[in-house]
Amino acid sequence: MADCSFGITGKDFVLLASDQSAGRSIIKMKSDENKIRTLSPGLALAFGGEPGEFTSLGKRRLMGGTSNELAKRGGESDMIKRDTNNFVDYVERNLRLYQIRNNTELLPAPASAFIRKELANSIRSRSPYAVNLLLGGYDKVHSEAHLYSIDLYGTKAILPYAAQGLGIYVALSTMDKYWYPDITRDEAVELLKKCVAEVKLRLAYQFTFNAIVIDKEGVKNLPL
């Protein structure tokens, strides 16, 4: 479960942060993987997967293919990454297609419903995607920031702040303590740093993080 991501909303912004490690089980193979994707000017998601689920679901997926295909697909860690990245690619392209067809951007709320539906359909298919994600967005029509947590089953929750992966064990209580409804951007960044510090202090796994902020101006990188 080498994943850890956070999301924090304020009145008119959302922060998303994710670890940058890629690997399998206890082995880290990469520590500069970007696991945050910008979907549109006001929308981005941080994604990760569940390792236990991952391998078993992934194996089932592989068993569906021919042995030739199986050989071509390479190592399992590659496959895991493809799983999550594939899904995020799929979502990104579909949202772009909607934008081209209808000449209007999908707002965060309908986008979250769309993504949820894809995962809910996927979980009952022969080869489900194993993706957990935090979706953050700024709704330009209603001038509000939104944060959604969607898990691999398609369970969607709309939340003021959230953590996924290993972060839930150590950082949720930090957020519970310091978050308040009108939290300013600087305070939210400070809170995020507190969470990251907590991860460094309490988890055996060494994470590096990257983060973004989404507001009415769009998506910007946030140096931590």
Q: Which CB atom, from 29 or from 109, has the smaller least distance to other proteins?
A: 109
Instruction: Verify binding: residue 125, other proteins, rule CB under 8 A.
Output: no
Q: Is 106 in the site for other proteins (CB under 8 A)?
A: yes
AA letter at 128? P
Closer CB to other proteins, residue 20 or residue 178?
A: 178
Cα 106 from chain centre: 18
Question: In b/e form, how buried is each residue of 155-187, taking b as 16+ CB within 10 angstroms?
Answer: ebeebbbbbbbbbeebbbebbeebbeeebebee
- Identify which of 51, 18, 16, 48 has the alpha carbon closest to the alpha carbon of residue 32: 18
The residue among 1 and 168 lying less far from other proteins, judged by its C-beta, is 168
Please list every residue from 167 through 206 that binds other proteins, using CB under 8 A: 168, 172
Residues comprising the chain, all counted: 224
Q: How far is the CB of 105 from other proteins (least distance, A)?
A: 10
Contact (CB, 8 A) for 114 and 94: yes
Q: Which is nearer to other proteins, 119 or 212 (CB)?
A: 119
Q: Report the residue number, 63 or 141, with the smaller CB distance to other proteins.
A: 141
Min dist CB 59 to other proteins, Å, is 18
Among 1, 62, 159, 203, binds other proteins (CB under 8 A): 159
- Per-residue mark of binding to other proteins, 53-92 (x: CB under 8 A): ----------------------------------------
The sign of the CA dihedral 35, 121, 163, 142 is positive
Q: Do the Cβ atoms of 22 and 33 come closer than 8 Å?
A: yes
Q: Which residues of this chain interact with other proteins, rule CB under 8 A? A: 102, 104, 106-107, 109-114, 116-117, 119-120, 123-124, 141-142, 148-149, 151, 153-159, 162, 168, 172
